[in-house]
Amino acid sequence: MEVPLALLIGLLTGVATWLMLSRNLIRLLLGFAVLGNAVNLLIFTAGRLTRDVPPIVPLDAEAIEGAFANPLPQALVLTAIVIGFGLLAFALVLAWQAYVRLGTIRTDEMREAEPPEEAKP
């Protein structure tokens, strides 16, 4: 189960890198979202995937015996999903406002704060 997930994580990381190298602001934001999903899968895989085993330890157990699911990666990924969605929504609103005010979503054309080329010494 870990080998297909490792390949999927590598594929998602490659796609995210390709998207983030684009000069299009929307592709850049989508690249960050895909990279966040790749990191979430990496955390799940590092937390040892087990099937049909709940992350619950019986009350009468002295030590954990047998297979068990680690609840820490599940909690971290759930938190990361919520924070990532909120950050993506906020970034998309900022990108929309940049498009409305500047008229473009290409990052190399968003140079309103820089002085023009002929004004540079």
How confident is the model at residue 121, as a pLDDT?
62
How many CB atoms within 10 Å of residue 15?
16
**Mean predicted confidence (pLDDT) in 2-16:** 93
How confident is the model at residue 24, as a pLDDT?
92
Helix (H) or strand (E) holding 66: none
pLDDT at 65 over 90: no
pLDDT at 103 over 70: yes
Which neighbouring-strand residues pair with 106?
Answer: 24
CA distance 44 to 46: 6
How confident is the model at residue 48, as a pLDDT?
72
CA distance 83 to 77: 10
For residue 16, what are the CA distances in angstroms to 21, 39, 57, 79, 80?
Answer: 9, 11, 37, 21, 17
How confident is the model at residue 10, as a pLDDT?
96
Dmax (CA) of the chain:
78
Top pLDDT among 61 and 78 is at 78
| Own/partner pairs, 102-106, CB within 8 angstroms, 24+ separation | 105/24, 105/25, 105/26, 106/23, 106/24, 106/25
Q: What is the mean pLDDT of the chain?
A: 85
How confident is the model at residue 113, as a pLDDT?
66
**Mean predicted confidence (pLDDT) in 24-32:** 94
Query: How many Cα atoms within 13 Å fall on the side-chain side of residue 52?
Result: 0
**Mean predicted confidence (pLDDT) in 102-108:** 86
How confident is the model at residue 44, as a pLDDT?
85
